[in-house]
Amino acid sequence: MSGHIPWNKVDLPLKALRSIWISTTRPDGRPHAVPVWFVWDGTSIYFITSRDIQKAKNLARQPWTVVHAGDGDDVIILEGPVEIVTDQAELDRVDVAYHDKYVDPHSGARDTVFHENCDLYRVNVKHVMTWEYGVVGTRTDWKF
């Protein structure tokens, strides 16, 4: 780690945020960025996506991503390789967290990671970078 921002300034917002931006690379090299619902377990980012949309196609060819919390002032950027989760225990564990996090405020319906034609992806975070109030001088990095 370099810098001086404490880990809880990364961990707590990632646990509280409703969505996060996932950036992937198209086959022709152009970037592709979209917001997704996600679960942060303290070491990995989990998200689901349909197998036939651009994000999944990009990750099948180039399984590396940059994830951004979306705030340009208090920045949280995570980088790492992505893989599809196939372990049933891990799928079930993440589904419980997803089920608890994503509740329709009108009906009370809870979402799941188990949607037809969708996969659960895990970002194996290798690098986290953060800075506060748009001041890059406060930048702090963690490498895993």
Instruction: For 27-37, write each residue's pLDDT tens digit.
Output: 999 999 999 99
User: What is the spatial distance between Cα 62 and Cα 51, in angstroms, rounded to a whole number?
Assistant: 15
pLDDT band at 3 (very low <50, low <70, confident <90, very high): confident
Residues 121/85, Cβ–Cβ less than 8 Å: yes
Residue 79, domain CATH: 2.30.110.10
Number of structural domains, the chain?
A: 1
pLDDT 10s digits, 113-122: 999 999 999 9
Please indicate, yes or no, if residue 140 is contained in any of the structural domains. no
Please indicate, yes or no, if residue 128 is contained in any of the structural domains. yes
Which of the pair, 4 or 37, is modelled with greater confidence?
Answer: 37
**pTM for the full predicted model:** 0.94
Q: Which two tokens stand for residue 64?
A: 């590396």
| Whole-number pLDDT of residue 136 | 79
Please indicate, yes or no, if residue 92 is contained in any of the structural domains. yes
| Whole-number pLDDT of residue 1 | 58
Q: Which two tokens stand for residue 62?
A: 């180039």
Helix, strand and coil percent figures for the chain, each rounded to 5: 20, 45, 35
State the residue range of the domain holding 98. Answer: 8-134
Could you tell me which residues come within 8 angstroms of residue 39 by beta carbon, excluding any fewer than 6 positions away?
A: 45, 46, 47, 94, 97, 98, 101
Please indicate, yes or no, if residue 143 is contained in any of the structural domains. no
Whole-number Cα distances in Å, 130 to 46, 72, 79, 108, 135: 20, 10, 12, 34, 10
Please indicate, yes or no, if residue 99 is contained in any of the structural domains. yes
Buried b (16+ CB within 10 A) or exposed e, 22-41: bbbbeeeeeeeeeebbbbbe
